[in-house]
Amino acid sequence: MTEEPDIVWDSVKGRYLAYLNLYGDRQFLGSFQSPDDAAKARTASAWLHVYDFASHRPDSTQRYPRYD
């Protein structure tokens, strides 16, 4: 399996595109003028997902947490 990069250059638009690979899906985060801005957006999005996962407390009756 080949992983696709999280930040790519779009030569048609002349901008950097940021993606986040999450749960096997590739989510588009936006287009940015600089690779630093794209990297900051990708990092911020990843931290939000990690925080959301870590702070979720499942019910005691469930074996695995539900994500509604």
Measure the CA–CA gap between 27 and 18, rounded to whole angstroms.
Answer: 9
Summarised one tens digit per residue, pLDDT across range 23-63 is 788 889 999 999 999 999 999 988 887 776 656 655 555 55
What confidence score (pLDDT) does residue 59 get? 54
Alpha helix ranges (H) inside 1-68:
35-55
Q: Provide the token pair at 33.
A: 């003028």
**Does residue 8 or residue 58 have the better pLDDT?**
8
Q: Please determine, for residue 9, whether its predicted confidence score (pLDDT) is greater than 70.
A: yes
Q: Please determine, for residue 1, whether its predicted confidence score (pLDDT) is greater than 50.
A: no
Residue-range domain boundaries for the chain: 7-55
Q: Are strands 7-10 and 15-22 parallel, antiparallel or unpaired?
A: antiparallel
